Amino acid sequence: MSDSNTTQSGDALVIQENTAQHRFEATKNGQLAGYVEYNVLSEALMFTHTEVLEAFEGQGVGSALAKHVLAEVRSQGKQVIPVCQFIAGYIRKHREQYVDLVRPDVQRAFKI
Domain of residue 65, CATH code = 3.40.630.30
Q: 71, 77 in Cβ contact below 8 A? A: no
Residue-level pLDDT at 12: 87
Q: 13, 62 in Cβ contact below 8 A? A: no
Q: Quick one: 82 exposed, middle or buried, by C-beta within 10 A (0-12, 13-18, 19+)? A: buried
For 18-27, what is each residue's pLDDT tens digit?
999 999 999 9
Calpha distance 63→47 (Å, rounded): 14
Give the bridge partners for 45, in sequence order: 40, 80
Residue-level pLDDT at 10: 54
Q: Which of these, 90, 83, 31, lies nearest to 64 by C-alpha position?
A: 90
Give pLDDT < 70 ranges for the chain.
1-11
Residue 51 DSSP symbol: E
Residue-level pLDDT at 19: 95
Residue-range definition of the domain harbouring residue 7? 2-109
Residue-level pLDDT at 106: 95
Give the bridge partners for 24, in sequence order: 17, 36
User: How many domains is the chain built from?
Assistant: 1
Helix, strand or coil, per DSSP, at residue 67: helix
